Chains A and B, each alone.
Chain A
Amino acid sequence: MSNVDTSKNNAFLIDMTKCTGCRGCQVACKQWNQLEAEETEFFSGEGYQNPPAMSEYTFTRIKFRDYQKNGQNEFAFYKEMCMHCNEPACASVCPVGAFQKTEEGPVIYKADRCIGCRFCMIACPFGVPKYEWSKGLPLVKKCTGCHSRIKEGLEPACATACPTAISYGPRDEMIKLAEQRLARYPDRYINKVYGKEEAGGTTVIYLTSLPFDELGFKAVTLRPLPGYTWQALRLVPGIFLSVGGGLSAFSWITHRRERLKREQQALQNEQDSAEPKEEKE
């Protein structure tokens, strides 16, 4: 749908079997983006999870899962962030085009355009865009994909900070790498590259050893989301023309019929008023 060439997209390959939950990424993101810390208490979830959710202050977060399965401990970590979809729903619904997919991969946000309608938040299948609820004139906030870094040849801050789990590079290479790992270590992974097809493909892709739903991954459609609305919206001009044209034609016909009727009636009346005369005559 968009006219951006995504063939050169970069992608994050996040291998959760390699994530140690150190949260260096979480802090690096705050540092690079100069985001305020949230006031937290104890932990907001399993393990050491904090803050409670991604928010206007938190673009990425490690979700902790701390449970037992078949008598074995599971302590799992999953990095949440914007998926930088190939065909982003957020961008497609934004009335002012504040979200844009870039050629480099990240879906960026032009804050100076945004009117704050929050449709992007409704649209994003991953629940990513967050709102500045604390402000009188709020804007949307989300992971920038570190577009500014990428353009300068750096890797995203979180990927740079990550000691183990995040690889960053051209999307096709990342997918190849992911598939190589699946093939090489079939016992280690669930046989799936999450993000390869989800929501029409994303530029954040995951590998894991635990079922995706256990980790709290959302089940999402494989179809690009913009298509869902576009299938209706693309009919707009047609409907406009046909409804407008149809109704015009209709009213032209009714009015014509009426006028004709009226004229005829007038004629008739004339005739009527004339005829009796004649008749009388």
Chain B
Amino acid sequence: MTAVRVIASEIKGFHWFIKFMMLLVGIGVVASLLRFVYGLGATTNMNDTYPWGLWISFDVVTAVPLAAGAFTLGAIVHCFGIKKLEPLVRPAIVTGFLGYSLVSIGLLLDLGQPHRGWHVFRYWNVHSPMFEVSMCVAAYTTVLFLEFLSPVCERFGLHLPLRLLRWIEMPLVVAAAAISTLHQSTLGTFFLIAVDKLHNLWYNPLLPLLFWVSAICTGMCIIIIEASACHKWMGQPNEGVLLRTLAKILPWTLGAYIAIRLYSLFVLSDGPFFDNPLLTLSFFLELVVGFILPFIMFTQKSVRDNDRRRVIAACLVVFGLVLNRFNVSMFGMMDPNQIYYPSLIESLVTIGIIAGHILFFVLIARYFPIFEHHPETVDYSLPDSFQKHDGGDKGTKVTEAGRTVKAS
């Protein structure tokens, strides 16, 4: 009883925004229950012409690259040794972990037989991109979970597992990057089978590569946005200096993306391309506004160094990616005689999932040390090196920059 009262009073103390998010999540949960009671046909606008709707397009195909920050940053920091970006890693991991967990939930809602989800591990079909993605998502969610365990253990002062986690951190990071490369690109492979269905503007054999590169770009942009948002709304320090570094990498990845995209379009695809005005518009919005414009912006020092402009550019990339994923998985697959738009319940579920993501992030940030972890002081090369330092407990720590952060 007391626990309930504690939780209740705790909730009472939340910001209205958090409460609103909780409401949205609640609605989403109810909507998902309706899906099981009344079936997919009655509750969604999916049908035999549109077997995949909003849930696959957003909750899976889009959400996965949006959660790509974790592996990108992990690799940048740990493998390429750009250590100064380390403070961004933990929030990215939390975002990734939440993202993937929710992807899994979204996928389960979408499955006709969610209770048989485990069949994927029982009946292997290595020819199936879906099999590959499922395996990867499962593996990667586990990796992220393990990575996420660190702040949890720190929070509860569990030293032994922490040491273990530290010890496997590097392999985890490498695994994360490798697995992500696979499934981020395999999401693109999904649509390689939709030959004759996916519009020529998007169908090309390099879809997997394009999906992977754009996921990397987006992963970094999400980090920029997230860090800026945390600074603005959650009282976190301005990581501007770090983000500037990220912003310096972006023109390269974006540039690569645009180059491959144009190559694939003009060299590898067959027309007609511009037979449908709406798709043409969508295509230009995606490519020009979503990729070329931010590319140009990021090449400018004035954008990279300016917090606001940098976030705008990052947002454009996210916009481009979202539009791209929708173009590939939904708009570009539209039947000329029948349009699809999500039903209320589908939308409520997806909104609930997005709200859940924000809500859980805020709550985790509230109760777990994800921002104050600046482990440059930790020597990773030695498994037991953790002992040498006084970290792990909640409390104050000294950052490289010498700033002091209070755990919330």
Contacts and interface: CB of A to CB of B under 8 A. Distances in A.
Does chain A touch chain B in the assembled complex, meaning CB atoms less than 8 Å apart?
yes
B197 to A, nearest CB: 7
Given A89-B193, A131-B112, A233-B186, A118 B51 contact: yes
Interface in A211-230: 218-221, 223, 225-226, 228-230
Contact of A228 (B120, B174, B192): B192
Nearest to A116: B112
B111 A248 contact: no
Nearest to A93: B128
A83 to B, nearest CB: 14
Interface stretch (A33-41, A74-82, A134-142): A134-142
A272 interface: no
Given A119-B128, A255-B381, A243 B181 contact: yes
B395 interface: no
B190 interface: yes
A115 B175 contact: no
Nearest to B180: A243
Given A119-B128, A247-B79, A97 B196 contact: no
B287 interface: no
B110 interface: yes
A97 B186 contact: no
Given A115-B112, A131-B51, A136-B38, A94 B125 contact: yes
B194 interface: yes
Interface in B95-137: 107, 110-117, 119-120, 122-132, 134
A129 to B, nearest CB: 8
A281 to B, nearest CB: 32
A132 interface: yes
B48 A114 contact: no
Contacts of B46: 133
A223 B112 CA distance: 30
A251 B78 contact: yes
B192 A115 contact: no
A254 interface: yes
Contacts of A257: 81
Contacts of B205: 228, 231-232
A250 interface: yes
B39 interface: yes
B178 A135 contact: no
Contacts of B80: 250-251, 254
A116 B114 CA distance: 8
Interface in A87-143: 89, 92-98, 113-119, 121-123, 125, 127, 130-140
Given A133-B48, A225-B195, A259-B381, A116 B129 contact: no
Interface in B36-84: 36-42, 46-49, 51-52, 75, 78-81
Given A135-B39, A243-B177, A251-B81, A96 B112 contact: no
Contacts of B181: 239-240, 243
A203 interface: no
A239 B185 CA distance: 11
B125 A233 contact: no
Nearest to A226: B127
B31 interface: no
Contact of B112 (A114, A221, A236): A114
B189 interface: yes
B127 A92 contact: yes
B129 A233 contact: yes
Given A233-B127, A254-B80, A240 B112 contact: no
Contacts of A97: 123-125, 128
A119 B193 CA distance: 10
B227 interface: no
A94 B124 CA distance: 9
B170 interface: yes
B182 interface: yes
B127 A1 contact: yes
Given A95-B125, A233-B129, A122 B194 contact: yes
Given A115-B113, A232-B129, 19 more contacts: A93-B130, A95-B130, A96-B119, A96-B120, A113-B119, A115-B119, A116-B116, A135-B41, A138-B41, A138-B112, A229-B127, A229-B192, A233-B126, A233-B127, A244-B174, A247-B173, A255-B81, A255-B381, A258-B81
Closest 9 CB pairs of A and B: A116-B112, A133-B41, A254-B81, A121-B51, A244-B178, A118-B51, A95-B130, A95-B131, A138-B112
10 contacts: A119-B129, A133-B40, A134-B42, A135-B112, A136-B39, A137-B112, A139-B113, A233-B132, A247-B79, A251-B173
Interface of A: 1, 53-55, 89, 92-98, 113-119, 121-123, 125, 127, 130-140, 218-221, 223, 225-226, 228-233, 236, 239-240, 243-244, 247-248, 250-251, 254-255, 257-259
